[in-house]
Amino acid sequence: MRLHSIKLSGFKSFADPTHFQLPGQLVGVVGPNGCGKSNIMDAVRWVLGESKASELRGESMQDVIFNGSGNRKPAGRASVELVFDNTAARAGGQWNQFSEIAVKRVLTRDGTSSYFINNQPVRRRDVQDVFLGTGLGPRAYAIIGQGTISRIIESRPEELRLFLEEAAGVSKYKERRRETENR
């Protein structure tokens, strides 16, 4: 699955609707310190289901909503949409029949978080199901951020095992077994 477009609105420093196209195999983002480069990766991990504010460099989840600047009012909601090319049919679950999969997350100031796939309301775990086993997830190995390598090296054996299980493609089966056992 290839990410080819990111749309943000009211997310961190992206107050106005902003659309990034990722046309090639290799895309570089450059800009001065504090211009919002890392916020883009935070946005990607947020849509994939990150639920811990500190992982997104905030104190509470509402910190991802644009909090105003000198001449701008704070935004009432943050919204980010990722569009993936799924022509290789690698997605999990019912959404794999679509050649394009758009995953969106919206958070309002009252704390309501909602997820959508191809504009249909879904649960957070439906989003996780799409990506389980692809290596893409809020903390999976497809996203190697600052400090990720040392985190892997220093992780406890149980955490390291989770990385290996995702890489080996067994995590989705383990998740299904866990669900079945809990029914």
Encoded tokens for 145: 């951020």
Is residue 118 a known part of a binding site?
no
Smallest distance from the beta carbon of 172 to ligand ATP, in angstroms? 31
Short-list 8, 26, 109, CA closest to 60:
109
Among 38, 62, 108, 114, binds Mg ion (CB under 5 A): 38
Q: Which is nearer to Mg ion, 38 or 114 (CB)?
A: 38
128 binds, among Mg ion, ligand ATP, none (CB under 5 to 8 A by kind): none
Short-list 64, 61, 55, CA closest to 36:
64
Binding region for Mg ion (CB under 5 A) out of 3-11, 35-43, 44-52, 156-164: 35-43
Give every strand in the sheet of 113-117, ordered side by side.
Answer: 18-21, 2-9, 77-85, 100-108, 113-117, 120-122
Q: Which is nearer to Mg ion, 5 or 38 (CB)?
A: 38
Is residue 36 a known part of a binding site?
yes
Q: Is the dihedral of CA 120, 123, 137, 55 positive or negative?
A: positive
18 binds, among Mg ion, ligand ATP, none (CB under 5 to 8 A by kind): none
Q: Estimate the crossing angle of helix 157-168 against helix 171-182, to 10 degrees.
A: 110
The 8-class DSSP code of residue 165 comes to H
Question: What is the binding site for ligand ATP (CB under 6 A)?
Answer: 12-13, 31, 33-39, 63, 65-67
Smallest distance from the beta carbon of 22 to ligand ATP, in angstroms? 17
Contact by Cβ (8 Å): 80, 168: no
Q: Which is nearer to ligand ATP, 39 or 171 (CB)?
A: 39
Smallest distance from the beta carbon of 36 to Mg ion, in angstroms? 8
Encoded tokens for 168: 């080996």
Give the torsion through C-alpha atoms of 106, 108, 113, 115, to 10 deg. Answer: -20
180 binds, among ligand ATP, Mg ion, none (CB under 5 to 8 A by kind): none
Q: Which is nearer to ligand ATP, 13 or 134 (CB)?
A: 13
The 8-class DSSP code of residue 24 comes to S
Q: Which is nearer to ligand ATP, 31 or 157 (CB)?
A: 31
Q: Which residues are at the interface with Mg ion (CB under 5 A)?
A: 37-38
